[in-house]
Amino acid sequence: MEIESSNQIHLPKEIIEEILPRLPVKSLLRFRCVSKSWGSLIVSKIFVKKHHQNSMNNPSFPQQRVIIQKNSDEWPMQCSLMSILSGPTNTIPLSPLADPTNTTVTGYEIRGCCNGLLCIRNDENIQLWNPSTRISKKLPEIYNVDFIDQLGFGWVESIDEYKVFVIVDDSNSIVGKVYSSKTKAWKTIELFSDFVHHWPLVVFVGGKLYWKNGLEKVINFLDLKSEVFGRIELPFDQEVYGFVGVLGGFLCVLCFNYQIRGYRVWVMKESWEKVVTLSHLLELLQPPLVKGLNGDILVNCGSILGVYNCRDNVFRDLSYCSCYQVTRISCHKDCVGLFSHDAYVESLVSPEDL
């Protein structure tokens, strides 16, 4: 470290390059103006990747945000995941999610997230959007399409390629379309002969998109690199299969078990593993979103968003300032009804590059 007579401290470049990737996106956006060298560093691909890896690997979730959307006609709200899992109160500090069009927008649905980017759609277009930098990009229009049904968004790490997958009604036939960030265009791919597409929830895990195959004991997937479809059989007995999700970076499935009259969450690692049993919860609309360091999980129970303590079987309702045993949960008329919730990690990845 060198200290000049003017008392200005100049840190070596190597130290600066270790400190900056650990900072929040909001700070880094301001620091681009410090100097030309800082500005070039912060927008470089190597820096963006390192910053994202630091954010993903931090176990306390300081850069992760939760999105809450009541319905597609109301603009989503957001809050810090860290404040939910470790906050001292039950009140969610919500703030509006940044608007990608800088206008009052309605009718948008968030249909996927990856590396800090959200894939959103309405009846007119599909956009990739970074809510942290407030940069968005409209994807090319899909022509001669009557209806877009299923939609998934993910990333092929080995070749650094983002892809969007949709099922469309193209002149009375159902076809698959894939947008590639490399070609900047859509192409048609062949579907299963017995493809089930009326299942809108699609999740991204490890280079693949997953969704339930109707009411069957099957999960469909699309390998984004090879663009080849596959299926996973669900082996569990006496369980009703619900939605798929992502928990701790692994594919998970939420099942209702009639014997315990509660839910079980199974995670696919080398094989299926039961990670948690949620007894007495009346209605889960989605698999758990996040599992904290202490084992608490964030769940959407009916019209209530809350934190479930698996050790003590206690549910902390985030809609009210209260905490009570799970067996006492009921839906109240003044609850905040939830349409969906999701999580994203704040990043510097720019949709303009895709």
What is the block-wise mean pLDDT of the chain (354 residues), using blocks of 10 residues? 51 87 92 91 93 82 73 68 65 65 59 88 83 90 74 93 87 84 93 65 91 80 93 78 81 82 84 79 66 72 69 66 32 36 84 88
Cα–Cα distance measured from residue 23 to residue 206, given in angstroms and rounded to the nearest whole number: 26
Identify which of 340, 337, 336, 304 has the alpha carbon closest to the alpha carbon of residue 323. 304
Residue-level pLDDT at 246: 86
| pLDDT in the model for residue 2 | 43
How does DSSP classify residue 64? E
* Predicted pLDDT at 204: 93
* CA nearest to 178, candidates 124, 230, 204, 139: 139
Which pLDDT value is given to residue 21?
A: 93
pTM: 0.82
**Cα(296)–Cα(42) distance, rounded to whole angstroms?**
35
Q: What is the C-alpha to C-alpha distance for residues 90 and 336, in angstroms, rounded to an integer? A: 14
Which amino acid is present at 74?
E
The pLDDT value given to residue 329: 30
- CA 268 → CA 99, 235, 273, distances in Å? 35, 12, 6
pLDDT, residue 332, reads 28
